[in-house]
Amino acid sequence: MSADARVQKYIDQSRMLANKARKRFRHLHKRFARQQIDVFRLYDWDIPEIRATVDWYAGHLVIGEYTRKQSTPDWLPMMGKAVAEALMVPVDKIHLKTRFYGKADGKRYERLDYTDRSIVVRERDLRFHVNLWDYVDTGLFSDHRNTRQMVREMAAGKDVLNLFCYSGSFSCSAAKGGAHRTLSVDRSRTAIAWARRNMELNGIPDTNNRLVQAHAFDYLAEALRNKERFDLAVVDPPSFYTRRSRKDGFDILEDHPGLLSAVAALMRSGGVIIFSTNHQDFKLDTKRLAFTSIKEITTRTIPEDYVNKRKTIHRCWEVIL
Ligand SMILES: C[S@@+](CC[C@H](N)C(=O)[O-])C[C@H]1O[C@@H](n2cnc3c(N)ncnc32)[C@H](O)[C@@H]1O
């Protein structure tokens, strides 16, 4: 394709993307504003040749391109500029990200910058610090907005485990829902510090809301030895991770039965595990899962701004022990 033809194609695509995002924003923003929801999705690869996501973060725009395969480096900035103009967002509030998927998943957690800047966004009566500058992920997965609300409604009086807690948003929801205690585990020191800041921001005391920096399986083994027990667990692991050796790594397709049974061993009778994955080819291995009650609840957990014909952003199950 000639350079001129490529530029023309990008201009056409940027117009289409900007139109879609503007229409979506008009449709959603008042309703979300009434609910004090500052973060929502405006576009997710709705048009096959425009492999982008557009997210609204309280007046900022985060625009992502799925792994760059068919475009040149000027594609994403052009898309960003067009969407920003359509929504009248100034240039310093546009954040462009390239998203890596598949086995290159680890790249999602690589740092892009070192600003350590954050803004505070609202999700109903909760507040979260999000960093739109330094990482591909911002600190808040808004596709789990409804799941957090569900956890909040289930948490009263419960001992709650949040494994792979990241910035602690599920723990904040559980604590606000009246959990007896929350225990949040993540292997990343940055994530644990982030979760602590989010708890402080929401006035959640650290007594009864412990944050543990540990590998998930190490924590599960130790908790079993210590006879820890929980009534509600949120298990939202990455699709893959590597550790000291290949054999120590985790691949959700293969390893979810082992993970869920290790969590189940800590649950009281009648306890509930909420399990979620973003892996697009995930299949629940029912043969290796020995639970009597396991129910997919994805239709309840996907918020309306994430309903998408092309893909289901996450899938979610409720296991009752
Ligand atoms: C998909 S995010 C979890 C999102 C979180 N549930 C939320 O809603 O915000 C995955 C998290 O798993 C953590 N992680 C990766 N490998 C881990 C391991 N071996 N043990 C514990 N945490 C791990 C990462 O640091 C990251 O914070």
- pLDDT one-digit tens code per residue, 206-245: 999 999 999 999 999 999 999 999 999 999 999 998 877 6
Q: What is the DSSP letter of 218?
A: H
Inter-residue contact 136 to 64 (CB < 8 Å):
yes
Banded model confidence at residue 110, pLDDT cuts 50, 70, 90 = low
CB atoms within 10 A of CB 244: 8
> Does ligand 1 have an atom closer than 6 angstroms to the CB of 170?
yes
Of the chain, the percentage scoring pLDDT greater than 90 comes to 81
- At 3-45, the pLDDT tens digits run 889 899 999 999 999 999 999 999 999 999 999 999 999 999 9
What pLDDT is attached to residue 21?
Answer: 98
Collapsing DSSP states into helix, strand and coil, what is residue 215? coil
Q: Compute the distance from residue 197 Cα to the ligand 1 centre, in Å.
A: 17
Between helix 145-154 and helix 169-176 the angle, nearest 10°, is: 40
pTM, to two decimals: 0.94
> Does ligand 1 have an atom closer than 6 angstroms to the CB of 168?
no
Measured between alpha carbons, how far is 163 from 222 in angstroms, rounded to an integer? 14
- For the chain, the residue count is 321
> Does ligand 1 have an atom closer than 6 angstroms to the CB of 194?
no
Q: Domains of the chain by range and CATH?
A: 3-109 (3.30.750.80), 141-320 (3.40.50.150)
Atom index in ligand 1 nearest the CA of residue 216 equals 20
- Which residue out of 160, 185, 186 has the highest number of ligand 1 atoms within 8 Å of its CB and is therefore the one to mutate? 186
- At 145-168, the pLDDT tens digits run 999 999 999 999 999 999 999 999
Average pLDDT over residues 286-315: 92
Q: Where are the alpha helices (DSSP H) in 88-203?
A: 145-154, 169-176, 189-201
